[in-house]
Amino acid sequence: MSSRLVCVSESVGAILRPVFGERRVTVIPNWVSHQPQFKTRIKDSSVKLALLYVGRLEKYKGLDLLLEALCGVPAKLTVVGDGAYRFALEDLARGLDVEFVGFKRDTGPYYEAADIFIMPSNGPEGLPMVALEGMAHGLPCLFSDLAVHREITNNGRAAALFEVGNVADLRAKLLQLIENPRLREQLAFSAYRQVQAKYHVDAARRAYLQLFEVSA
């Protein structure tokens, strides 16, 4: 009965257009309402970097892949979130430098304290807010190469991407980021600018005003 369907990403739009038709489907991406000032995060190579995962602790989110990839990696991982898979993940994390802090309503301090943000989801994903939040905080990000992650990172120009489900590739890309501070800084700045341009509240407001044919 609807006259228009609004999708949160082009990846979702591509699924719905063949069913509902081109004219009924509009894409207005998810957005962040606040973007802190960009800051450089380059650290001396001798300092152990802080990795961050934020999200539900469910099997499809792929955190088990990240835990497997972390063996022998000189970094500490903080896991923010909760879910049915938490106890199994805590078992997998034994012997690793990993801290589970549970659900946090305010995740801002964790993004600010991190050096690298990782979203290893196996999918499906519409457009993960945590991915945009990591980018908005000017973090170098490492995402699985889901279609939506390719979309929001301009096909990997604003984040490092690894093959979905591939632990070896995840580990290789993570080590590359850890060992290359200049690459981290480049990706962080690109991510920050990408959110400014396409995934900020102002961009969403303009898109909705245009959709409803309302003057600003």
The pLDDT assigned to 52 comes to: 98
Give residue 213's pLDDT: 86
User: Using CA atoms, how far apart are residues 58 and 63, in angstroms rounded to an integer?
Assistant: 8
In whole angstroms, give the CA distance from residue 121 to residue 177: 19
Mean pLDDT to the nearest integer, 63-73? 97
| pLDDT over threshold 80, residue 1 | no
pLDDT reported for residue 216:
61
The residues with which 162 forms a beta bridge, in sequence order, are 144
Instruction: Of 181, 128, 189, 137, give the one whose Cα is nearest residue 158.
Output: 189
Note the pLDDT of residue 94. Answer: 96
Q: Would you state the structure tokens that stand for residue 42, as one six-digit string?
A: 């380059």
Contact between 192 and 38 under an 8 Å Cβ cutoff? The reply is yes
pLDDT of residue 124: 95
Residues 127-156, mean pLDDT to the nearest whole number: 98
Pair 158, 191: CB distance under 8 Å: yes
Average pLDDT over residues 142-167: 98
Q: Residue 59 CB: number of other CB atoms within 10 A?
A: 13
Chain-centroid distance of CA 98 in Å reads 19
Kindly report the pTM of this predicted structure: 0.95
Inter-CA distances, 59 with 19, 84, 88, 119, Å: 29, 9, 10, 13
Does the pLDDT at position 17 exceed 90?
A: yes
The answer to whether the beta carbons of residues 98 and 76 sit under 8 Å apart is yes
Res 127: pLDDT: 97
